[in-house]
Amino acid sequence: MSLEDSVKALIVSEYPLDSVIASSSQSKDARKGIVEYVKSEKPDILFVDGLVSRIRYPEAYIDGVIESHPLKKFMDVPFKLASEFLKELKDANPSTEVYMAFSDADEDNIRRLTKYTALKILAANDAEVKKCNGEIKNIKDSAKKVNAHIASERKAKAKGWEKSVEAKRKESAMLGKKLGGYQTKLKRMKEEFLLKMPNAESVEWREIKKITSNEYLNKLKEMNPGINIQMGNISTDAKGYTFEYAHSFYTPDDSPLKKRTNKLIGYVDKLHMGRVPLPHFMIESGHHGETVVHPYKHGEKDVYSLICTGMVMEDQKVVNDILKGKFKPEIFQGKVNKLEACKRQSKKIPAPGVSIVGRNKDGYFTNLYSMDHLAKVGRSEVKLKDMDYEKINVLSDIHVGKGKVDYDRLESAIEKMVGEIRDRKKAGLSAPMLFMLNESLQGFNYKTLPVEIARKIPADYKKELEEIVNGYATKAVAGKEYVDAEVVKKLIKAAIHELERVNEPSIGNQTKWFHELTKKLIPLTLLYCNYQVAVLFAEGTHIKHTVGEFGIKEVDLQSIVYDGLDMIVPALIEAGELKDDTKLKGIKEKIKKGSYLKFDMKIGDVDYKLSAVHKPGSASPSSNIPAQHVERVITMSDDADMFFSAHLHTPYFFAIGKMESNDISAFYKGATFNAYDDYGKEGGWSPAVIGYEQALVPKNKNGKGAYKVQFVLSDVL
């Protein structure tokens, strides 16, 4: 498998096409939008589930479904509606492998159909028993008449009575034989036939359920040729990448916000600890109402899997109206809290829409498309060819001053960003924005859980340098000796790394080294980014704990160089060394800094609300980090479209819905460049994820509602 290969999978989850929750005009438009994305994106794999409702809640059926008798006719109409959609998806791009997984609704329907089948069997068997009892009664009645006739003949002793009695005796014997046959049949039926509803744990129930399940599955397969339909988890691959998909990997608890994400990551942890090979993509449906994407690191190796949970295609406006009693209250009365969609919205803020996950030469990526956005595409208010995205580079937790900073990959990441700025400048495009969510500087070590700054003793350092030199022989050219250039490079690199370990704990040196590292990235971003905010600095906690009492802030240490332009540039112009300040004017105003940053910004033709903070709340290794952030956002009544945060050295990309609409808000949580160290180990944290994120958002008119992320991590840097 080459990293140049690109693979992608589209996920459509919880889209009950036979339900009022998925039949609004916006939902129908969004359906067209999904088909347009399949045509445009041409995903290698398409996972679908939740296309039918539960039979036991007929209140949610659209007109015509309940009248079609889903139980009697074995889901004819619901299956037909699902099949029409599956055909649309397959026809949109025939090369896409479409997989349909069974949902909770499918499993519940199988239970209902099993019970209905059992009742039908009971009714048929009861009819047979009644028929047999009727025959026995008729035979007994006939035998009584024959025996009465024999007794009458004997008593009258009329002429020829002996022959008549003999004939009736034969008839009586035949009736007796016939009666015995029916009595034996009745006994056998009572022994072998199902004559009462079987217990769900009984063999009889299991046999009926097995037959019903196979009939359910086979009927779907017959109606959907070319679609891969199966019960349970789906394991497949495309272009050498492996995928594991499940409607739900296991049952969560019932606590508020369910903490699903943390449970799923815990499950993956157990698989990894058991040395179970992890797939490249581990995908769960939107069933639990938490749309989260997380690159999972395989121990301390630079290898990752993408753990994803999907969105829901349920119209959240309709769901909200049902909860408030505005939508057909006469029908839904008493059923509101039983519908899955209502349960989800009453505990969480589900994100309505579909998602794409994949991998390209830059690593794993994810695209989220809200139902609002899909509907615009479906109504042709926005053409996919016109979708244009702007990029925000999200850099966090560099920790200059810490002993385990991966400077090689940091410099690789910075060079990659600088290269893109130059390429964009040549193309006449704006440079990407740069959000530094800090802690870029380590500050001094905490008094508790100190960070170990690894330093070599002189003898070990001397030995290391000698080994480098001894590894290369000197060469003679024209009678002169010289040292191989590679030897010099290695010696310099080893010496510099040792200086980093010794000097960086000084805040002054940390600041100088930070500016040395970013001397191209930040100035070029400020010069060539055309947006109101080009560079953002969010205040971290390390400098605050170190020298915060003296009023020193990390964001000031980072921006002080650019604040000085106000003094330097006018002086240079006056001295005639600089013609004017045209190019530099307004640079300082493009910097936004603070502890909790909330601002409005126009990106292209789209107005966005943004929010950025370094630390979205305290957490422990067992915390559900996305859920914690959502709880904090709700507490602060933050109505941003995009949220940016960092601090915990593990990146997440997740989304929530917006109440009473089908729009979404996206959360970008940054990674780090500080490798797994004693600080993390002692605190119980999982291995740090090295790298950065690229947030991509639409800038074209009517494009709002789609959010993307590219994880650029240590497996590609």
Task: Name which of 163, 133, 132 is nearest 150 in CA terms.
Answer: 163
Q: How far apart are CA 295 and CA 297, in angstroms?
A: 6
Which amino acid is present at 270?
K
On the question of pLDDT at 351 being above 80, the answer is yes
Amino acid identity, position 518 = T
Q: Which residue has the higher pLDDT, 336 or 253?
A: 336
Going along 371-524, which residue ranges are E strands?
A: 389-395, 433-436, 475-477, 480-482
The pLDDT tens digits for 669-685 are: 999 998 866 666 666 77
Q: CB neighbours (10 Å) of residue 637? A: 6
Compute the mean pLDDT over every residue in the chain, rounded to the nearest whole number. 84
pLDDT of 255 = 40
User: Residue 624 and residue 348: Cα distance in Å, rounded?
Assistant: 14
Q: pLDDT tens digit string along 572-591?
A: 777 777 777 766 777 888 99
The string of pLDDT tens digits covering residues 472-484 is 545 545 555 556 6
Q: What is the pLDDT of residue 329?
A: 82
pLDDT in tens, 457-474: 666 767 777 776 666 545
Read off the pLDDT of each residue in 103-110 and give the average, rounded to a whole number: 90
Enclosing H/E stretch for 665: strand 664-669
> In this predicted structure, what is the pLDDT of residue 149?
65
Q: In the structure, what pLDDT confidence band is assigned to residue 448 with cuts at 50, 70 and 90?
A: very low
What pLDDT, in 10s, does the model give residues 196-244?
677 777 777 788 888 888 999 999 999 999 999 999 899 999 999 999 9
> What pTM was computed for the model?
0.86
**What's the token pair of residue 509?**
């040196």
Tens digits of residue pLDDT in 302-345: 999 999 999 999 999 998 888 888 888 878 887 787 788 888 88
Residue 641 has pLDDT above 90, yes or no: yes
Cα 352 from Cα 372, distance rounded (Å): 8
pLDDT in tens, 163-189: 666 776 777 777 677 766 767 766 776
Q: Which residues pair with 359 in a beta bridge?
A: 7, 364
